[in-house]
Structure formats: C-alpha cells, structure tokens
Amino acid sequence: MRHLFIAALLALTVTSCSDKSSTLTGRWELDEIDYSEHYKSIPEEAREMIRAAMNKAFKKLKGKTFFTFSENEKLTLEAPNFLNKVKRTKGNWKMNDTQDSLRIIIADEVENYRIVQINADSLILATSEVPARTLILLRKYWKD
C-alpha cells in the first residue's frame, strides 16, 4: 500500500509540474501592449497625450511583430523599424528555475518579465521596468 501511495504521489508531481519552456518555444505574435501601470506614473495632464502617442506607435507594430523562441534559448524578433521595414534581430531568452519569469536579451538590451500566463495559445508577460507594461502575445501558427 505504501508503494502505491508513493507511486501515485510521484505521478501527480510529474504531471502537475509542466515545463513552461517547452510551451514557450514557437512563434508568437504581439497582440497588445498594456501600459496602464506606466500611465499611473505620468501626471494626469500629460497622460492622454502620451497614451495617444503610444497607441499610434503600437498600431505600426500590431500584426507585424513576432517573437520566435527556439528550444536552444535563441530568440528572433521580427518588428518594423522606423521606416516600416521588417527587421529581424537575433537574441536569447532564459527562463528562471521556478519558471515564473523570463529574461529577454536582444542587441545587448536585457528585459526581465514576470510570466503572468502561458498556455498553448497565449503568453502574457509583465514588467515593472520603465515603461511598466504588459505584453500580450498569441501563438502564431503557420504552414511550412
């Protein structure tokens, strides 16, 4: 009976501890950036002007920005530059041991994100780095 209990406990532990890094690998489309935390730090009289500018800038990115996370902790970011030409930039990613945060390194820039949600179809990352923001990414499936 004791062996059965230990086997059941082990099975439960193995199935409940999913590897988020394998869920992360793949291509993700940037669907939304939520700057609501950042706006709280801006004086109210300037908030709407900054919100409008950030919304305008995001419209240039929406549908054109993709993060591809590879199994070997490599990352490719595809995003339009100031001339609206899509640029591919190589980088790296690293998930911490507890799999609740993600470090993204692109062109010597390091950003740290808390993993708010990760599943087969959506990835939500939040950072308190300036500007504080939440990235909402959707899995992008494509045909080869």
The residue written with tokens 């890094």 in the block is: 21
pLDDT of residue 80: 93
Give the residue ranges of DSSP H helices in 1-144.
2-16, 20-24, 36-39, 44-61
Residue 8, domain member (yes or no):
no
3-state secondary structure of 2: helix
Residue 14, domain member (yes or no):
no
* 143: pLDDT strictly greater than 60: no
Domain residues for the domain of 67 are 25-139
Residue 44, domain member (yes or no):
yes
For 112-139, write each residue's pLDDT tens digit.
Answer: 999 999 999 999 999 999 999 999 999 9
Residue 18, domain member (yes or no):
no
Domain count, the chain: 1
Residue 68, domain member (yes or no):
yes
Residue 95, domain member (yes or no):
yes
CATH of the domain at 104: 2.40.128.280
Chain centroid offset of residue 77 CA: 11
For 1-55, write each residue's pLDDT tens digit.
Answer: 443 334 333 333 333 345 788 899 999 999 999 999 999 999 999 999 999 999 9
Instruction: Please check whether residue 28 is in contact with residue 137, taking contact to mean a CB–CB distance below 8 angstroms.
Output: yes
Residue 1, domain member (yes or no):
no
Residue 110, domain member (yes or no):
yes
**Ramachandran quadrant class, 65 (left: phi over 0; alpha: psi -120 to 50; beta: rest):** beta
For 51-104, write each residue's pLDDT tens digit.
Answer: 999 999 999 999 999 999 999 999 999 999 888 899 999 999 999 999 999 999
Residue 97 to residues 18, 47, 72, 84, Cα–Cα distance (Å): 12, 38, 16, 37
pLDDT of residue 142: 65
Its pTM stands at 0.81
Angle at 71 between CA 130 and CA 110, to 5 degrees: 20
